[in-house]
Structure 1
Amino acid sequence: MNYCLIIDDSRVIRKVSREIAESLAFRVAEAENGEVGLQACKAEMPDVILLDWNMPVMDGYTFLKRLRATPEGQAPKVVFCTTENDIDRITRALDAGANEYIMKPFDKDILAAKFLELGVLPATHSV
């Protein structure tokens, strides 16, 4: 079963994201900031990460830079899920190693389409 890590400081966003990812046949873990997310990645590297930009302790951009600098950190697909829609931020995120960038709010169809494009949607699930 594919493993999805959701990194967002909002409990509501984590809950909704978890429900969507689980409905797409993912095993899910959650982290409330980038620092906790990095610890989760050290314990087990996910297949895909849903990542918020603005968080306390460590923001999503810093998390992504640190993740990609680790030996196994190139493996997971990273999808920024944020309210930040400034083209400079999107460019920075993609340049830092994000694979996709989606705007909040998102729904199951949007996430399933992105996962399918990235090749991380479990084969047992169809969109």
Structure 2
Amino acid sequence: MKTCLVVDDSRVIRKVSRRILEDLGFEVAEASDGVEAMAWCSAVMPDAILLDWIMPGMDGMEFLKRLRAEPGGDRPKVVFCSGETDIGRIREALDAGADEYIMKPFDGAIVAGKLAWLGVAA
């Protein structure tokens, strides 16, 4: 079974994401910030990561840069999920190693389509 780590400081977003991902057949783990997410990835590298940008502790951009520097950190497909609309900031995320970008709010069809396009969901 494929695994997905949902990294978001909003418990509501994590819960909605979990439901969507479980319906897609993923085993889901959650982290409330980048620090918690790094600890999780150090133990078990997921197949995919849904990543919020703005979080306390360690934000999504710092997490992404650290993840990509870790052994095996190039493997997970990372999808930034944020309300950020500035094209320059979205480009920054993609240049830093994100595989895709989803605008909040999102729904199951959007998540399924992005993960299928990235080859981690049917």
TM-score range, shorter chain: over 0.9
Instruction: Give the superposed CA RMSD.
Output: 0.6
Residue aligned with 2:102, SS: strand
1:4 aligns with 2:16: no
Provide, for residues 46-86 of structure 1, a one-character-per-residue CA deviation record: whole Å limited to 9, x for no partner.
Answer: 00000000000000000000000111100000000000111
Residue aligned with 2:79, SS: strand
Residue in 2 aligned with 1:115?
115
AA in 1 matched with 2:93:
A
For 1:27 and 1:65, how far apart are their aligned partners in 2? Answer: 24
The count of aligned residue pairs is 122
Residue in 2 aligned with 1:74?
74
Structure 1 unaligned spans of 5+: none
Structure 2 unaligned spans of 5+: none
For 1:104 and 1:89, how far apart are their aligned partners in 2? Answer: 15
1:47 aligns with 2:47: yes
The percent identity for this pair of structures is 65
Instruction: Using structure 2 for the length normalisation, give the TM-score.
Output: 0.99
For 1:62 and 1:85, how far apart are their aligned partners in 2? Answer: 19
AA in 1 matched with 2:7:
I
AA in 2 matched with 1:10:
S
| Stretches of 4+ aligned residues off by more than 6 angstroms | none
